[in-house]
Amino acid sequence: MSQELTLQQAQSEVDLWIKTIGVRYFNELTNTAILMEEVGELARIMARTYGEQSSKSTDKPSNLSDEMADVLWVLICLANQTGVNLTEAFKQNMEKKTLRDFDRHQNNEKLSQ
C-alpha cells in the first residue's frame, strides 16, 4: 500500500533532491523551456494514443504516466524557485473556478450533446 503524497511534500522532496543530487535548480527561464518540452512530449503521446494522429516508425515507446510526472516535476521546480505554495495556489484556483463557473458548464449546449 502506498502512502499518499501532498503537494507540499512533493515540493519538499523535489527541493531536497535538487539540493542533494541535482546540484542546483536550472534558472527559471531554462525550466520554463524544459516545461514546454515536457508538455510537448505529453501532447505527442495524447495525440497518437487518444487523438487521430498515427505513430511513426521512429517513435520511441511511450509512457503516459512518466511524461505526466515529468511535467509535474518541472512545474514543482518552478513553483519552488518562485516561492509559489502549490497547495495554496490550487485551493485558490479551485475557489476561483467554482465561483466563476458555478453554472457555466451546465448551461453549455456544446457539453450536453
DSSP codes joined into one string, 9-46: HHHHHHHHHHHHTS-SPPPHHHHHHHHHHHHHHHHHHH
Among 9-18, 25-34, 60-69, where is mean pLDDT lowest?
60-69
Q: Which of 96, 40, 105 is nearest to 71 (CA)?
A: 40
| pLDDT bucket at 63, cuts 50 / 70 / 90 | very high
All structural domains of the chain, each given as residue ranges with its CATH number in brackets, are: 7-86 (1.10.287.1080)
| Predicted confidence (pLDDT) at residue 1 exceeds the cutoff of 80 | no
Its pTM stands at 0.87
**Range 16-29 average pLDDT:** 97
